[in-house]
Structure 1
Amino acid sequence: MPQSPSTRLIYVLLGLCILLASCSQFEDDYHAARRARAQSNDTTAPIVIGVAWNFTDEYNAARVGECANLPVSECPVLPLGKYDMLPLGVHMAVEEINANGGVLGGRLLQIRERDDNESITQGRLVAQEFAEETDVVAVIGHAYSSISIPASPLYEFNGVIMLSPAATSPHLTHRGFTRVFRNLISDDQIGQVLADYAFAQGYRRVMIIYRDEAYGRDLSNVFETEAARLGVEVVDRRIYSSVDFERIIRDWAEQEFDAILIATSSAQDAALFIKRAGEAGINVPFLGGDGIDSSDIAAIAGEYAEGTVVATHYHQDNPRPQLQEFIQRFNARWGDLIPDYQSLWGGVPDTWAALGYDAVYILANAIEQAGITDPDQLAAYMHEDFVWLDGVTGAYRFDEKGDVVGKQVVLLRLEDGEFRYFGEFTGIDDITPPPTPEPEATTSPEEE
C-alpha cells in the first residue's frame, strides 16, 4: 500500500532524529574520551597539537618524499612553496619549547599535520579526523575563513580547541562557541582602524569598492559604520565580481572625493583597479586591509600605487624586540635549508610564520599557566585568565568570544615600490591627525 506524504515525512523526520542522535552520541564519546585522557595524569604522553592548513604541493612532496618519516625540522632540504611559512613557524616553536623541557614538568609537544586542500569539504573532513583522535588537545588552523567557519562546529562539539592564525571573518567567533579562538585581529578591527586613519588624515569624502565575497562585505561594512560615526561621508559604494572596472572608474572620475577603500582579498584585483584608476586620472590615496598586503600591488600598479596604505598584522620592520629576535632565530634555523628563501620571501619570515609561531606558544603558555590539558578547562582559562605579553606579533589576551583583545593593527604605506612600516594602532586615539593649516592672514579695515 503506498505511503501517504505525511507518513513518508514522519519516516524522514524519524530517520533524521536517529542520525542526529547517533552523531551526538559520537560527539559525546569523543568528548568524554578526550576529557578522560586529559585527566589520566599520564606525565609521559606527548601533548598533541594538530595543524590544519593549505599546504602546497612542494611542502607535501617534501613530507612524503625524502622526509616521509622525519619531522619537517629534520628534512635536509625544504623545496617549499610561497604559503608554507606557517608550518615552519609552528615547528620552530615546538623545537624551542621541547628543547627547554616541554610543559607541565617535562611533557613534550607533538605536531600532527593535515592538508585541507583549500576546500570546505576537505576542511570539514580534516576537522572530523582530528575530532576522532582523542589525544588531540587543540588544532591550529585553518587558512581561510570560508573553511574555518564550517569546520569550527566539529571542533567545538567534540571538545577540541580551535586556534586560527589566519581567519579574520567576525563570524568565526560570533556564534557563542567556547572553544574557538583566533590569534590575529579580525576584519572588524581592520575596518575600524582604516576608517579612523581616514578621518585622522582629513579625508571627509571616501569611495568604497568591494569584492563580492564575505571578506569584502565585512571590511566595507565596518569601515562605513565607523566612518559615519566620525562624520566621514561614503559618497559611493560599488560591488564587483569581475575585473571590468571601467564603468566604476568612469563614474568616479567625474566626482570629487579624498580617498578610495578597496575591500578585497585579491591583491591582483586591487592592483589592477589602482592601475586603471590612475591611468584615468584619479589621483587620490588608496586604502586596504590585509587582503592586499602584497608585493603584487607595486608590481602591477607601479607608480599609481605609491602612497597606498594597508592595515595588516605584521611587518618585518616593526621594532618590537620579540619580533626582531624571532626573525634572527628563524633565519638561523631555516634560511640555509630553503633554496628560494630570498626570491620567494625576501629573506625574512612572513606573517603566517610569525602567527603560527605565536599560536604554539599561546597554547603552551596556557597549558603551563593553567596546569591542565583538558580542552574544556583550558578554553575556560584562556577566556578568563590567560595573559601572554611576549608574542612576536603582540601581547595576547582573549575575550568571551575568543577574539584577541588589545592587539594593535599594523599600518603600512607603499613608498618607492615597497610597503614600509609606519606604526601600530588600536584606534582613533593612537593616530596623529595631520597638522591643521594656519589660517590665511587677513587685513582689517583699520590697517588699510
Structure 2
Amino acid sequence: MRRWLVGLLFFWASAMGVLQAQPAPVYVGLDAEFGHRTSTSAQAIQQGIEIAMAEINQAGGVLGGRKLSLVTSDNRSVTAVGLDNLRKLAAQPDLVAVFGGKFSPIYIEALPLVHELGLPLLDPWGSADGITDHPHQPSYTFRLSIKDAWVGPAFVRFAREHHRAARLGLLVPNTAWGRSNKAALEAAVGATPDMKLVAHRWYNWGDASLLASYQALREAGAQVIVLVANETEGSLLVREMAGLPKDQRLPVISHWGITGGEFARMAGPALDAIDLAVVQSYSFVGAQSPKAQRVLAALQRGWGYATPEQVPSPVGVAHAYDLMHLLARAIDKAGSSDRRAVRAALEQLGPYDGLVQRYARPFTPARHDALGPERIFFARYTANDELIPMTPSVHRRP
C-alpha cells in the first residue's frame, strides 16, 4: 500500500509539473456571421486562421512557446450583436486581436468601440473604405482585403475593355458598404473620359424583388449593371433577370459579396442565362506555390475539398491565412500579448512572403491596408459552383 501511495504521489507530482510547465495560450478572436443561413465566408475565414495557427503552433507557437488558440463568436450579421460580441471578446485575458467577417457595416459601427477598448480589429474581407480610412488615431483597424476605392476603377475598366460599354447602372444596398461603393464608382466614372453613371438604385436587405430597380436602370440607358450585393440579393436578381426576354438581360459586373455564400446554388440554372463577372483578389485555381499547395492539402484533410475549384469563399481563406501569420509575427515583435504593443508592432513588420503575395512591408503608421488595387481580377461561376479566374496572370507576385 505504501509503495502504491508513493507511486500515486509521484504520478500526481509529475502531472502537475507538466501542467505547470505548459504556458498559457495566446487567444485570437473571430467575430463573424456564422449563424447567417446562406453564408460561407465566416467558415472560410475560420479555416484560414486555423490552418495558419496549426502551422505556427507546430513551429513552436509565439512568445517562446505559447500556443495560439481561436475564440469564435456569431454576430448573425446583426450590428448590435457584433458590438456586444466585441465587448465580450475584449474582456478575455490574453486575447490580442479580433478578426472580423464580411459585413462591413458592423465594423464601421464598431470603430468607436474598438478604439475605446484598444482592441486590434483585423479585417480579412470587409471592403468599405471607412474600415481603415477614419479619424481615430492611433488606428486599431488593419485590413488584408480589397477596398471599394479600388473596386470602382476596376468596374470601369472591365466595362470598357470587356463589354465596350460606356454607360453604367448601379444597383446598391442602402448600407455603409453600399454608400462606400457608390462614392467609389462615381469617382472612377468621373475620372474616366466618356464613361457615365446613368443612374443608381438603392435596395434594402431582404427586399422581395429587385426587378423594378433593374428595369429602371436599363430604361435609363445602362449598358452594364454594376451590382453590389451578397448572395441572397445577388441570386434574386439573377433569377429575375433570367425570366426576362434575352434582349433585356444586360451584363452584370458584381462585387464579391456574392462569393461569400451559396450564390450559385441559390441562383440555380438561371446563372447560365446571365453574363456575370465578379471581383476577386485570390484564387486557388492554378496556384502552384509550395504555400498554396500546403494550404490546399490542409483544406482537403480538414474539410474535404478535393480540388481547388471546390473551395468556397476562397478569398476568405487566403486573406485570413496571411493575416494570421502577420499577427503572429507582430506578437513576437511586441514581445508580449499586450494589445497596444501588438498594434504598434503590426505597423513595423518587415517583409513576409505570403500566400496571396509578398508583402514588402504589410502595414505602416500611415497605411493599414496590406494589399493594393493590383490584386483585383475578375472571375466567373460555372454551373458546378466553381469560381474560375478570367485571366491567367492572377498568381503573379507584385
Instruction: Tell me the TM-score normalized by structure 1.
Output: 0.69
| Partner AA of 1:149 in structure 2 | I
Rg bigger for which structure? 1
Distance change in 2, residues 1:115/1:191 (3 Å): same
1:229-274: CA deviations, max 9, x gaps?
1121112222234354444455555565532211223x34334434
Please tell me the root mean square deviation across aligned C-alpha atoms, in Å. 3.4
Classify the secondary structure of the residue corresponding to 1:103: coil
Cα distance in 2, alignment partners of residues 235 and 57 from structure 1: 34
Task: For structure 2, list consecutive stretches of 5 or more residues without a partner in the other structure.
Answer: 1-20
Alpha-carbon distance in structure 2 between the residues aligned to 1:176 and 1:326? 37
Distance between the aligned counterparts of 1:320 and 1:148, measured in 2?
Answer: 34
Q: Does 1:366 align with 2:303?
A: no
Q: Name the residue aligned to 1:148.
A: 107
| 1:189-220 Cα distance to aligned partner (Å, 9 max, x none) | 22232223223333222222223233233223
1:215 has 2:177 as partner: yes
| Aligned counterparts, 1:217-366, within 5 A | 217-231=179-193, 232-241=195-204, 242-251=207-216, 256-265=221-230, 267-277=231-241, 279-280=244-245, 281-293=247-259, 294-296=263-265, 299=268, 301-305=270-274, 307-319=275-287, 321=289, 322-335=291-304, 346=310, 350-366=314-330
1:52 corresponds to which of 31, 36, 61: 31
Q: Which amino acid aligns with 1:411?
A: F
Secondary structure of the corresponding residue to residue 327 of structure 1: helix
Is 2:156 the counterpart of 1:195? Answer: yes
2:145 aligned residue (184, 192, 214): 184
Corresponding residue for residue 4 of structure 2: none
Q: Alpha-carbon deviation of 1:137? A: 1.4
Aligned to 1:441: none
Amino acid in structure 1 at the alignment position of 2:158: Y
Q: TM-score, normalised by structure 2?
A: 0.76
Q: Which amino acid aligns with 1:315?
A: S
Taking the aligned partners of 1:329 and 1:120, their CA distance within structure 2 comes to 32
Distance of 2:371 and 2:155 partners within structure 1 = 18
- Residues 376-406 of structure 1: per-residue CA shift (max 9 Å, x gap): 23322323x3245433233441252522242
> Which residue of 31, 41, 54 corresponds with 1:95?
54
* Contact kept? 1:206, 1:261, Cα under 8 Å: yes
Q: What number of residue pairs does the alignment pair up?
A: 355
* Offset, 1:101: 1.0
Separation in 2, partners of 1:255, 1:57: 35
Identity of aligned residues (%): 23
2: CA distance, partners of 1:405 / 1:348: 21
Deviation string, structure 1 residues 355-375 (Cα, Å, up to 9, x no partner): 332232120122234545432
> Which runs of no fewer than 5 residues in structure 1 stay unpaired?
1-41, 59-79, 336-340, 427-448
Cα distance in 2 between the residues matched to 1:237 and 1:211: 10
Output the amino acid matched with 2:99: I
